Structure 1
Amino acid sequence: MADKIVLITGGAGGIGMETAQQFLDDGDTIVLVDVDEEALSSTKDTLNGDKDKVKLIQADVTNEDDVKNYVKDTVNTYGRIDVFFNNAGVNGPFKNIKDLEKETFEKVMSINTTGIFLGLKHVIPQMESQKHGSIINAASNAAYIGSPGMAGYIASKHAVAGLTKTAALEAAQNGVRVNAVAPAAIDTQMLTSIQQNTSPDDPGAAAEAIKQGIPAGRFGMPKEVAQVVMFLASDKASFVYGSLYNVDGGMQAD
């Protein structure tokens, strides 16, 4: 489909912004959603291409009224949603479970899991009414593993994997495909934050330690995640439902 209407949450983050750029380069119209209005404006300024094809919506993905609004605003403006990259997320602090505050755990779960759930809840009916649509959730290699000090993030991404499979089964017969990308060690601010949390005195050493666990021997780039999202959004993935696509330099194969 030419000139797709693409809705992206977490649009001001590294992967969200790069994905927006890839779709914009493809001639599509982009709706960027983020809780940080200033960062959204900066993202739009940074993007190359036709800025008239970029719409910004400030919203908190954990607030159901905000989610209803970003869906309604997109449909009122463009008439449909062809692609939904359900991408907003945070990593949270680096603390063992015994030291992790309940409120902090719940905040990470709220953004990473409830935010994904609410996006699915309100985008799926619109896509079903159109009889077409592709949803790509942001999972992670954290959907497969445990990791000391990251209980909230790990739990939330396991939940995203389950939501993805369940939503795919519920929506498949109505022309809607639901899948997920599962990135690991992508060179973004989130990865920098993880390095600083795990080794505050020497984040560079943490970076090297992470690279040693990546068969490809390097960090991934946001563009490499965006290209997989582009594939899952396209008709080339027309028989792909309920899948988690690893973008991790071989970490899950090791």
Structure 2
Amino acid sequence: MRLAGKVMVVTGAGSGLGQALTLELLYRGARVAAVDLRREGLEATREQAGAKAASLSLHQLDITDRERVEALPQEVVAIHGAVDGLINNAGIIQPFKRLQDLDYATIERVMRVNFYGTLYMIKAFLPLLLARPEAHLVNVSSMGGFLPVPGQTVYGASKAALKLLTEGLWAELQGTPVRVTLVLPGAMRTAIAEHSGVEAPRVGGEARIPILEPAKAAKMLLDGVERDAFRILLGQDARSMDVLYRISPLWATRVIQKRMRHLLS
């Protein structure tokens, strides 16, 4: 789907990849409804948009608030006239702890944001997308959704659930105007740890990995949307580990365990 002239909704638009996606969409001629939990993040995105902010609307909400999410589509339509696409980017990580050391409140919060919040957004916006001549649904999962990472087991489970949900939607929506894209990012320079209320670990030595900049990732992601890609791997680490995992899931799991074991020491 060509993005120029389209109305796109982006969650997590106040920082990181979501902010970069919003700015890149505006650059490509789209109108954007930017959604984020933090008002200050949304204002920062508007400031960076400069003159293109005229094509931007800000919507502060918690995507785990189903009632609030269900009211959002009509708010967006009232401002922009339609909705052509939804990019579910918002997400959080867990503290870098083993499952046995996580409390249930933390586990449930990760699942609410990463899975249920995204599910609420999809259910709220899908009727509008189905009514358009063409539309696009994008779900940002994670490399952690197909490759287990020590200390992020619940996060990985939430992203694996999102991965399969997206693939199922792709199958269900064949024959409709809605195209579906699954995004699997690797390591990226974002503030996800800070915004998740989690202390970011120090990664060094044998665990040093390439970090993808959000602006570059946003361009790669939107290029994929414009060619109606089914699956987009963001970053050399995601691409490499995807190949390794296909060859041998056990081998890939051992590799990531050895590289990241220091996080749990």
**Structure 2 residue corresponding to 1:222, chosen from 208, 214, 222:** 214
Q: Is the 8 A contact 1:91 1:190 kept in 2?
A: yes
The structural deviation recorded for 1:248 is: 2.5
Unaligned runs of 5+ in 1: none
Distance 1:180 1:49 in 2: 31
User: 2:232 corresponds to which residue?
Assistant: 245
- Corresponding letter in the other structure for 1:54: L
- Corresponding letter in the other structure for 1:178: V
Distance 2:200 2:50 in 1: 35
Matches within 5 A, 1:136-215: 136-190=138-192, 197=199, 199=201, 203=202, 206-211=203-208, 214=209
Distance 2:14 2:178 in 1: 26
Matches within 5 A, 1:53-64: 53-64=55-66
TM-score norm. by structure 1 comes to 0.87
Matches within 5 A, 1:37-186: 37-186=39-188
- Comparing 171-180 with 11-20, greater Cα deviation is found at 171-180
- Corresponding letter in the other structure for 2:165: L
Distance 2:17 2:38 in 1: 15
Q: Is the 8 A contact 1:131 1:174 kept in 2?
A: no
- Corresponding letter in the other structure for 1:246: L
The structural deviation recorded for 1:117 is: 0.9
CA distance change for structure 1 residues 209 and 46 in 2, over 3 Å: closer, same or farther?
farther
The structural deviation recorded for 1:164 is: 0.3
Distance 2:102 2:42 in 1: 31
CA distance change for structure 1 residues 18 and 104 in 2, over 3 Å: closer, same or farther?
same
The structural deviation recorded for 1:193 is: 8.4
- Corresponding letter in the other structure for 1:83: G
User: 2:247 corresponds to which residue?
Assistant: none
CA distance change for structure 1 residues 209 and 45 in 2, over 3 Å: closer, same or farther?
farther
The structural deviation recorded for 1:228 is: 2.7
Q: Is the 8 A contact 1:136 1:232 kept in 2?
A: no
Unaligned runs of 5+ in 2: 245-265
In angstroms, what is the RMSD of aligned CA positions?
2.0
Q: Residue deviations 1:171-194, cap 9 Å, x none?
A: 222210111111011111236889
- Comparing 144-153 with 11-20, greater Cα deviation is found at 144-153
- Corresponding letter in the other structure for 1:251: S
Distance 2:207 2:54 in 1: 40
Q: Is the 8 A contact 1:59 1:70 kept in 2?
A: no
CA distance change for structure 1 residues 79 and 90 in 2, over 3 Å: closer, same or farther?
same
CA distance change for structure 1 residues 172 and 69 in 2, over 3 Å: closer, same or farther?
same
Aligned length: 238
Distance 2:152 2:224 in 1: 28
- Corresponding letter in the other structure for 2:7: I
Q: Is the 8 A contact 1:136 1:229 kept in 2?
A: no
Q: Is the 8 A contact 1:109 1:156 kept in 2?
A: yes
The structural deviation recorded for 1:210 is: 3.6
Distance 2:97 2:5 in 1: 44
Distance 1:123 1:229 in 2: 20
**Which runs of at least 4 in structure 1 moved beyond 3 Å after TM superposition?**
191-194, 196-199, 207-210
Distance 1:40 1:76 in 2: 19
For the residue of structure 2 that corresponds to 1:113, the secondary structure is helix
